[in-house]
Amino acid sequence: MKSVIVGTAGHIDHGKTSLVKALTGIDADRLEEEKRRGITIDIGFAHLELPAPDGSRIRLGFVDVPGHERFVRNMLAGVGGIDLVLLVIAADEGIKPQTREHFDICRLLAIRRGITVLTKSDAVDAETLEVVRLEVEDYVRGSFLDPAQSPIVAVSSLTGAGLDELKAALARVASEVAAKNSAVLARLPIDRVFTMKGFGTVVTGTLVAGTIHKEEELEVFPVGRSVRVRGVQVHGSSAEVTVAGQRTALNLAGLSTDELARGMTLATADTFRSTSRVDTLLSLLPSAKPLKHGARVHFHAYTSETIAEARLYSVKQIRPGDEAYAQLRFAEPMLLLPGDRFIVRQFSPVVTIGGGVVLDASPATRRQRSDDTIAFLKIMRDGSPEQVLTARVARRGAMGLRLDNVPGEMNIRREEAAKLSANAGLVWCDPVLVAPATFTTAKTDVLQALKKFHDANPLVAGMSKEELRDRMNLGPEVFYSVLGKLAEEKKLEVAGELVRLPGRGVVMKDEEAESKKIIEQAFASAGLKVPSLKEVLAGLKVDKIRAQKIVTLLLRDKVLIKISEELVFHQSALLDLRRRVAALKSTAPKIDVARFKDMTGVSRKYAIPLLEYLDRERVTRRVGDERVIL
């Protein structure tokens, strides 16, 4: 069954609550104070089922709002999730201030369908009723309530006149309302919190998107706490599931009523993030005063409200009737997503001055040029889903955008995000997405960095991955994906922790090659009675820095082996020593320092470091003052 949320709007005492009761039989005034004073103070709820023109049934959920100017903030808490509005105008009073303000709010929230209802038709004669009708027709002409497409129905909640005509109009208009998307991620702005005996914590709200099942885990925003749905009610009846467009009550486990409040939002867990800043397209009413850059306003979206500072892009103020791109910075975080509509009211005196649409609820944290931000926001406003995702990925540069973060930024499921990324031709650097141009630039930059390194370090076999990444300022996932792709294309070589260009590596000049030969020969001929490294290097033709690089190269290739800070041996001498010691095992399984000195002919200066080397290499194991040959 299709569900549609119907909201009332209009001036105080124009009969909104009486109309809802006449239609549904339910008194939406639930507070004792409301009944005592005879005015609506807070939002109230009712429901009704009607036959649609095609023979199916339509379930209407009514949100009745207060009309008094002092309670506009309560009215805003109820009107955010409605699909269809009943603009209520009393025939004996006509258009009044809150008629105008409520109508402005409906237009700013981009409500598409509605019916104008002339209540208290029994209180005036036919001629007066016709005059009011003409006045109202002129007032709503050109809007979504234009008489050419939206009916104007005169009723009397007292006598019942016109109610059948209104129900027929409701069924017809509601059947034309586009259904809310129940396939997307779930969001339920909370408008009531209370305790029900035998159940515990209960919250109500209009499910503006997605589906919620009994026993599902949800997250409460902005506090980020988890709750479990113990029970579901839709329009007062128990259910296993509630879908977008339905008035919903949820019995929650995990939080008490003291930890929940109107303005919070229940949403799909582990997906969204609260925000303290949103980039928007903000418009002012023609009746408003100019809004200056940095001005504070009262911000309302769905059931939430806070104070916001308007930071305008490229303009110093918004003139009445104009619009501009603006970042709104909140005093308190809240959950908002692209496409959400909002209302702003003047800071003081508090009157409605404008509204707009959220374009980006996760703005870039680093400072950007206004022109770049505006270009990005135009894509957010008008671009296809593929273009929107591409722009979101591109602005992350070489850090990339995690695929797991896309659902929260774009309010789509992960499967759709993966499909969009493939359609958009984005580069997958598991688990992040990167724009193709960014990936291509990163490849070029890596190759240039390697060439520069080789040119400056001809005696070094390659650049370490860590040093290369530090120079590139690439995200780790992007960096290793770039290395992998370049290696696949045979444009670079990866050897362990070193990266080099093909054919590059160590390139020696004649004197460097001669010095390398001298160093190697000096240690190879010395056996175990090696000279000091300083002595060998002092006799070379090359400078100290190049000499040290040659030694580093010989150590890296394990031609020379350093066994202590002062002693370096040729690998052949150490290999011969290991064989000789191992051969002793059959005749003398143990060896001490004195015997080792006799066998090798070296002094204690060499003997102790060499024995410790053999211990590390697991050729021997020290036991007291002796070594056991393994």
- Note whether 362 and 280 are within 8 A (CB): no
Sign of CA dihedral 141, 147, 149, 151: positive
Q: Are 377 and 359 in contact (CB under 8 A)?
A: yes
Check residue 534 and give its pLDDT.
Answer: 83
C-alpha dist (Å) from residue 274 to 112, 342, 490: 28, 16, 45
pLDDT at site 117 = 97
Residues 6+ away with beta carbon under 8 Å from 462: 493, 495, 498, 499, 500, 504, 505
321: tokens are 């009737």
What local confidence, expressed as pLDDT, does residue 444 receive?
95
Please tell me the predicted confidence (pLDDT) of residue 226.
94
Whole-angstrom distance, CA of residue 392 vs CA of residue 377 = 10
pLDDT recorded at residue 585? 84
pLDDT confidence of residue 327: 96
- Paired sense of beta strands 620-623 and 2-10, if any: unpaired
Predicted local distance difference test score (pLDDT) of residue 70: 67
Of 412, 12, 409, the C-alpha closest to 181 is 412
* Block mean pLDDT (10 aa), the chain, length 630: 89 90 86 64 85 90 78 77 93 93 92 95 94 96 94 95 95 91 91 86 92 96 94 90 92 93 94 95 96 96 95 94 96 95 93 95 83 93 96 93 93 92 94 95 94 80 86 90 94 86 67 79 90 82 78 82 89 91 86 91 92 92 89
This prediction's pTM: 0.79
| Distance of alpha carbon 260 from alpha carbon 418, whole angstroms | 35
Condensed to tens digits (0 to 9), the pLDDT of residues 67-96 reads: 666 667 777 887 888 899 999 999 999 999
Domains defined along the chain, listed by start: 2-176 (3.40.50.300), 187-268 (2.40.30.10), 275-360 (2.40.30.10), 383-434 (no CATH), 438-500 (1.10.10.10), 510-629 (1.10.10.10)
The pair of three-digit structure tokens given for residue 620, joined into one six-digit string: 């021997």
Q: How does pLDDT run across 19-51, given as a tens digit for each residue?
A: 999 999 988 776 676 566 666 677 888 899 999
- pLDDT tens for 544-588 read 777 788 788 788 778 899 998 889 999 999 999 999 998 888 888
Residues 131-160: tens digit of each pLDDT: 999 999 999 999 999 999 999 999 999 999
The Cα–Cα gap between 302 and 265 comes to 9
Instruction: Say what the pLDDT of residue 359 is.
Output: 97
pLDDT above 90: percentage of residues in the chain = 67
The predicted pLDDT at position 34 comes to 57
